[in-house]
């Protein structure tokens, strides 16, 4: 008998590379925002009284919860915040998926879901997306211990209309349905408006993609009071003080600057739409992404060889070595200039 028999063994999630190379790199591999957050964050940091660092932070991150509630027109007890939506989602898996029936989610989706399920020993089954990488809501009309849908989905970028989400929520009154809306700000329709109608619906969003704040780690969940209470009970059974003071204060400033937020999103959406035209001209195939990335494939060029070529030019995109998608690349929308360099290098690759 070795102590190793008692170890919770897990295969961890692999995040996209955070390359450390000299000189300019173009990082289009983790769906970060290519623009900085609102300059209001600078003011908050300049005025931050470091004496406050002696003290524990606000235990419920109340100022941030309050500004999110205001932003969405919700009650404060309908909002839960955490250290990025990864933290929030992990808490959700632990809280709501404690049954014996399998939790269900698509075969091609955010690759953290199966990692949490394995880590927490939650039974799960994956449901194949159709040939166009779309979710068929009817596939989610079956017994389960919970449902997770990323909408728009990652890494495919496909967006389910609101009535399809509602169909899944309605069909599963005895399960919690989590809708991971990391990319909803880029043109998808949020299911937030349904949370007063369905007590089994929980929406998870993040400041990492559409608000230029991945480094500060802020995510949140919105749902009925009861869901939020259960989430808080579990969170307070693990670590009360998850959100640090600077994240809370800066997060409030980010949440309040709605004009800056809208400008960020519209710039990225404009670059995305132009990128679609450019990539189409280069012969790529892809769906009608409503996110800050494009999931592309080419009939004449292999994804891996393009991936490797771009890396030699210090351009990082994401390749998933997984069934069905191993000839695809996920390309984050960068600045206009970054995308121009990318298109130029793709042309060079093709003309080699
Ligand atoms: C990026 C992403 C997350 C995690 O974002 P955080 O930085 O942890 O807030 C969660 N779900 C999906 C689908 C994502 O793409």
Query: Over the stretch 134-153, which tens digit does the pLDDT of each residue have?
Result: 999 999 999 999 999 999 99
Say yes or no: CB of residue 204 within 6 Å of ligand 1: no
Q: Which is the closest atom of ligand 1 to the Cα of 209?
A: 1
Size of the chain, expressed as the number of residues it contains: 352
Spatial distance between the Cα atoms of 35 and 343, rounded to a whole number of angstroms: 20
Phi, psi of 296 (to 5 degrees): -120, 155
215 three-class SS:
helix
- Determine the pLDDT at residue 1: 80
Say yes or no: CB of residue 206 within 6 Å of ligand 1: yes
How many angstroms does the Cα of residue 292 sit away from the middle of ligand 1?
12
How many angstroms does the Cα of residue 5 sit away from the middle of ligand 1?
32
- Determine the pLDDT at residue 17: 77
- With b for 16 or more beta-carbon neighbours within 10 A and e for fewer, the 230-262 pattern comes to bbbebbeeeeeebbbbbbbbbbbbbbebeebbe
Pocket test for ligand 1, best of 30, 110, 155, 204 (most atoms within 8 A of CB): 110
Contact 198, 170 (CB under 8 A): yes
Band of pLDDT at residue 278, cut at 50, 70 and 90: very high
Say yes or no: CB of residue 208 within 6 Å of ligand 1: yes
Contact 252, 79 (CB under 8 A): no
Q: Which is the closest atom of ligand 1 to the Cα of 150?
A: 13
Pocket test for ligand 1, best of 90, 182, 215, 216 (most atoms within 8 A of CB): 182
Q: What's the pLDDT tens digit per position in 35-65?
A: 999 999 999 999 999 999 999 999 999 999 9
* DSSP track, 143-167: --SEEEEESS-TTT-----HHHHHH
Band of pLDDT at residue 352, cut at 50, 70 and 90: confident
Band of pLDDT at residue 329, cut at 50, 70 and 90: very high
Q: What's the pLDDT tens digit per position in 285-322?
A: 999 999 999 999 999 999 999 999 999 999 999 999 99
Whole-structure pTM value: 0.96
How many angstroms does the Cα of residue 218 sit away from the middle of ligand 1?
10
Q: Which is the closest atom of ligand 1 to the Cα of 207?
A: 9
**Pairing between strand 315-316 and 293-298?**
unpaired
Which residue's alpha carbon is at the smallest distance from atom 1 of ligand 1?
182
Check pLDDT > 80 for residue 20. no
Q: What is the mean pLDDT of residues 255-284?
A: 98
Q: Which is the closest atom of ligand 1 to the Cα of 110?
A: 13
Band of pLDDT at residue 76, cut at 50, 70 and 90: very high
Say yes or no: CB of residue 91 within 6 Å of ligand 1: no
169 three-class SS:
helix
How many angstroms does the Cα of residue 30 sit away from the middle of ligand 1?
9
Count other C-beta atoms under 10 Å from residue 199's C-beta.
15
Spatial distance between the Cα atoms of 57 and 47, rounded to a whole number of angstroms: 17
- Determine the pLDDT at residue 22: 73
Q: State percent of the chain over pLDDT 90.
A: 96
Band of pLDDT at residue 236, cut at 50, 70 and 90: very high
Q: What's the pLDDT tens digit per position in 149-194?
A: 999 999 999 999 999 999 999 999 999 999 999 999 999 999 999 9
- Determine the pLDDT at residue 101: 98
Q: What is the mean pLDDT of residues 86-101?
A: 98
Say yes or no: CB of residue 86 within 6 Å of ligand 1: yes
- Determine the pLDDT at residue 144: 98
- Determine the pLDDT at residue 26: 96
Band of pLDDT at residue 83, cut at 50, 70 and 90: very high
- Determine the pLDDT at residue 19: 80
Which residue's alpha carbon is at the smallest distance from atom 5 of ligand 1?
85
Mean pLDDT of the chain: 96
Spatial distance between the Cα atoms of 70 and 85, rounded to a whole number of angstroms: 19
How many angstroms does the Cα of residue 204 sit away from the middle of ligand 1?
9
Q: Which is the closest atom of ligand 1 to the Cα of 85?
A: 9
Say yes or no: CB of residue 220 within 6 Å of ligand 1: no
- Determine the pLDDT at residue 21: 72
**Rg (alpha carbons) of the chain, rounded to whole number:** 21
Check pLDDT > 80 for residue 3. yes
Say yes or no: CB of residue 102 within 6 Å of ligand 1: no
């Amino acid at each position: 008998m070795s102590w190793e028999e008692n170890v919770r063994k897990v295969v961890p999630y692999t995040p996209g590379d955070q390359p450390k190379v000299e000189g300019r790199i173009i990082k289009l591999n983790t769906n970060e925002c290519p623009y900085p957050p609102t300059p209001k964050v600078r003011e908050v940091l300049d005025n931050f009284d470091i004496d406050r660092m002696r003290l524990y932070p606000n235990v419920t991150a109340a100022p941030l919860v309050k500004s999110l509630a205001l932003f969405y027109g919700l009650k404060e007890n309908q909002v839960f915040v955490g250290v990025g939506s990864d933290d929030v989602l992990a808490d959700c898996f632990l809280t709501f998926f404690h049954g014996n029936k399998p939790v269900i989610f698509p075969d091609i989706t955010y690759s953290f879901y199966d990692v949490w399920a394995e880590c927490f020993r939650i039974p799960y089954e994956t449901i194949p997306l159709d040939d166009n990488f779309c979710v068929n809501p009817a596939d989610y009309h079956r017994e389960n211990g919970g449902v997770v849908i990323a909408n728009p989905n990652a890494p495919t970028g496909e967006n389910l209309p609101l009535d399809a989400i509602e169909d899944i929520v309605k069909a599963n009154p005895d399960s919690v349905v989590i809708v991971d809306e990391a990319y909803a700000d880029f043109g998808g329709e949020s299911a937030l408006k349904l949370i007063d109608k369905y007590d089994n619906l929980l929406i998870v969003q993040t400041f990492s993609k559409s608000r230029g704040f991945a480094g500060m780690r802020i995510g949140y969940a919105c749902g009925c009071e009861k869901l939020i209470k259960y989430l808080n009970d579990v969170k307070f059974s693990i670590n009360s003080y998850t959100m640090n003071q600077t994240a809370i204060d800066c997060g409030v400033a980010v949440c309040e600057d709605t004009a800056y937020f809208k400008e960020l999103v519209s710039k990225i959406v404009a670059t995305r739409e132009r990128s679609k035209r450019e990539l189409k001209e280069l012969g790529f195939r892809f769906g009608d992404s409503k996110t800050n990335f494009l999931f592309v494939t080419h009939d004449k060029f292999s994804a891996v060889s393009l991936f490797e070529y771009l890396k030699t030019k210090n351009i990082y995109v994401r390749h998933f070595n997984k069934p069905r998608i191993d000839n695809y690349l996920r390309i984050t929308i960068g600045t206009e200039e970054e995308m121009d360099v990318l298109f130029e290098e793709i042309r060079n690759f093709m003309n080699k």
